[in-house]
Amino acid sequence: MKKYALLGEKLSHSYSPIIHKKIFEAYNIDADYSLLECNKNDLEGIINKLRTGEYSGFNVTIPYKIEVMKYLDEISDEAKAIGSCNTIAYKDGKIIGYNTDYFGFYNELVYYNVEVKNKDCYILGTGGASLALYKALIDMGGNVKYVSRNPKNSETITYLELENKNIDLLVNATPVGMSPNVGFSPVKSDIAKRSKYVVDIIFNPKRTQLLLDANSNMNGLLMLVGQAVKAEEIWQDKKYPLDIIGLLKEIEAMI
pLDDT tens, residue by residue, 97-119: 999 999 999 999 999 999 999 99
Residues 6+ apart with CB under 8 A from 102: 78, 82, 132, 135, 136
- Given a cut of 80, whether residue 12 has pLDDT beyond it is yes
Mean pLDDT score of the chain, rounded to an integer? 95
Q: How much is the pLDDT for 226?
A: 94
Annotated catalytic residue within 65, 135, 145, 230: 65
Q: What percentage of the chain exceeds 70 in pLDDT? A: 100
Q: Assess contact for 188 and 165: CB atoms under 8 A.
A: no
pTM, entire model: 0.92
Instruction: Put residue 143 in one of left, alpha, beta given phi > 0 → left and psi -120 to 50 → alpha.
Output: beta
To the nearest 10°, report the CA torsion of 175, 156, 138, 59.
-30
All structural domains of the chain with their residue ranges? 2-99+224-254, 113-217
pLDDT digits (tens, 9 = 90+) for 23-77: 999 899 999 999 999 999 999 999 999 999 999 999 999 899 999 999 999 999 9
Instruction: Quote the CATH superfamily of domain 113-217.
Output: NAD(P)-binding Rossmann-like Domain (3.40.50.720)
pLDDT digits (tens, 9 = 90+) for 188-215: 999 999 999 999 999 999 999 999 999 9
Q: Assess contact for 140 and 130: CB atoms under 8 A.
A: no
Of the pLDDT bands very low, low, confident and very high (cuts 50, 70, 90), residue 253 is confident
Residue 76 to residue 212: CA distance in whole angstroms = 37
Q: Assess contact for 135 and 81: CB atoms under 8 A.
A: yes
Q: Assess contact for 132 and 83: CB atoms under 8 A.
A: no
CATH architecture of the domain with residue range 2-99+224-254: 3-Layer(aba) Sandwich (3.40)
Q: Assess contact for 133 and 173: CB atoms under 8 A.
A: yes
The yes-or-no answer on residue 65 being catalytic is yes
- Given a cut of 90, whether residue 229 has pLDDT beyond it is yes
